[in-house]
Amino acid sequence: MTKTKSAAALPLNTIIDGDCIEVMNGLPEASVDLIFADPPYNLQLKGDLHRPDNSRVDAVDDEWDQFASFKVYDDFTKAWLKAARRILKPDGAIWVIGSYHNIFRVGAELQNQGYWILNDVVWRKSNPMPNFRGKRFTNAHETMIWAGRDESSKYTFNYEALKALNEGIQMRSDWVLPICTGHERLKDENGDKAHPTQKPESLLHRVLVGATNPGDVILDPFFGTGTTGAVAKMLGRDFIGIEREAAYRKVAEKRIAKVRKFDREALQVSVSKRAEPRVPFGQLVERGMLRPGEALYSPRGQVAKVRADGTLIGNDVKGSIHQVGAHLEGAPSCNGWTYWTFKQDGKKVPIDVLRQQIRSEMTN
């Protein structure tokens, strides 16, 4: 089977009924850009938990969350992570969220299978449930692991977009976001919460903006009430959900149907210079923006002359704009575009201005 054929055959934007391991094993290999997984937590709660006023806490005690032992949980973890890795594209990545009950086992198995951890990201809850018994710290965070399929995976990371989300400061590995409450929290027919561990859309928004591009395929093997699908749809990504509980699928279907995709312009995010087209310095000479023999100036006033082939010649060294700059600074590397200036109407102007002119012509 060819990759294109199978990729076209992906059940996009649907929720598949079944066990996630079996379903993933039935999907074509190397076909998914990102996996977001919120696996069962193996909470091992001993009996019921009560608040000081004796009201019962609605703990995570569903049948699917009971595992006899670490062994059973590890086998389960191995199996679904292996199935997930097979369907990931070579440059694909995975996010897994968990708590101290399960995240260490998940993280170790990720490493064992050859996934390459990129960050652990802490979701710091601004409004966590207190520890009612006063015997431990308020459990105020959960941990997400972000990992590439391989060490060599060229994973997607929208650095500039995340930086913009954070008011111009590089995004950190700890995210402060409130838990899912209020009208965002889905209810069943009885008015009870539809799912015990519904994640906030703000969390998925940050994950998907940061780690995917519009049109990417995102698979969620533990779809639940479909937060991943809802946010993927909003953001113009395709999703594949897998969920074996009919009640959750039903809620998710209804939820996602109501979601509207953001406008195309709203989906545009800041891009880094790295993603812009490369302009050889020689083009500036070819186009006559700089003439052979013209002088360029370093920040410290040193002079180099432009040669016809787009190299520079300084006092005792010649080479590219980067090489000569690095040599003058005694530095391992140098960005010649921002290092050198030329004289225009008597004022010194960075040569990067000329590159921007060419780039703006290219995108017209």
Partner DNA sequence: CGGCGGTATGAATCCGTAA
Partner DNA sequence: GTTACGGATTCATACCGCC
What residues from 51 to 80 belong to the interface with DNA (CB under 7 A)?
51-55, 57-60, 65
Which helix or strand (DSSP H or E) is residue 91 part of?
strand 88-98
Rounded to whole angstroms, the Cα distance separating 238 from 259 reads: 13
Pick from 21, 60, 79, 122 the residue near its own copies by CB under 8 A. 122
Q: With respect to its own copies, which residue has the nearer C-beta, 77 or 225?
A: 77
Q: Does residue 171 belong to the site contacting its own copies (CB under 8 A)?
A: yes
- Using CB under 8 A, which residues numbered 238 to 267 contact its own copies? none
CA distance 113 to 52: 44
Q: Which is nearer to its own copies, 22 or 58 (CB)?
A: 58
How far apart (Å, rounded) are the C-alpha atoms in residues 306 and 292? 5
State the minimum distance, in angstroms, from the CB of residue 13 to DNA: 23
Question: 325-344: which residues touch its own copies (CB under 8 A)?
Answer: 329, 331-334
- 221 exposed, middle or buried (CB, 10 Å; 0-12, 13-18, 19+)? buried
Near its own copies by CB under 8 A: residue from 28, 128, 196, 282: 128
- Residue 361 in tokens: 């012509």
Sequence-separated (6 or more) residues with CB below 8 Å from residue 33: 88, 89, 92, 93, 156, 212, 216, 217, 218
Locate 91 and state its tokens. Answer: 């440059």
Binder among 181, 315, 344, 356 for DNA (CB under 7 A): 181
Nearer to its own copies, 23 or 324 (CB): 324
Could you tell me if 215 and 236 are in contact, meaning their C-beta atoms sit under 8 angstroms apart? yes
Q: In the complex with its own copies, which residue's Cβ is closer, 50 or 348?
A: 50
Give, as ranges, the residues between 222 and 261 that touch DNA (CB under 7 A). none
Torsion of CA 272, 276, 281, 287, to 10 degrees: -140
337 binds, among DNA, its own copies, none (CB under 5 to 8 A by kind): DNA
Distances (CA, A) of 85 to 5, 58, 147, 166, 321: 20, 34, 11, 31, 43
Residue 344 binds DNA (CB under 7 A): no
| Contacts for 327 with CB less than 8 Å, ≥ 6 apart | 314, 317, 319
CB of 169 to its own copies, least distance (A): 7
**Whole-angstrom distance, CA of residue 304 vs CA of residue 280:** 18
Q: Which does 234 bind (CB under 5 to 8 A by kind): DNA, its own copies, none?
A: none
Give the residue, chosen from 16, 43, 121, 240, that forms a contact with its own copies under the rule CB under 8 A.
Answer: 121
DSSP strand pairing (312-313 vs 303-306): antiparallel
Q: Which of helix, strand or coil describes residue 292? A: coil
Q: Which residues pair with 296 in a beta bridge?
A: 304, 342
Return the residue of 180, 211, 285, 304 that touches DNA, per CB under 7 A: 180
Please, which residue, 12 or 247, has the CB nearer to DNA?
247
Binding residue for its own copies, selected from 2, 127, 152, 364, defined by CB under 8 A: 364
Q: Is 8 in the site for its own copies (CB under 8 A)?
A: no
Instruction: Pick one of 59, 169, 271, 275: the residue that binds its own copies (CB under 8 A).
Output: 169
Q: Does 190 bind DNA (CB under 7 A)?
A: no
The distance between the two most distant Cα atoms of the chain, rounded to a whole number of Å, is: 86
Contact call for residue 322 and DNA (CB under 7 A): yes
- The residue length of the chain stands at 364
Site for DNA in 256-275 (CB under 7 A): 265, 268, 270, 272-274
Considering only residues 173 to 192 of the shown chain, the ones binding its own copies according to CB under 8 A are: 173-174
Q: Please tell me whether residue 348 binds DNA under the rule CB under 7 A.
A: no
Residue numbers at the binding site for its own copies (CB under 8 A): 48, 50, 54, 70, 99-101, 103-108, 110-112, 117-122, 124, 128, 130-131, 134-141, 143, 145-146, 157, 159, 162, 169-174, 272, 329, 331-334, 364
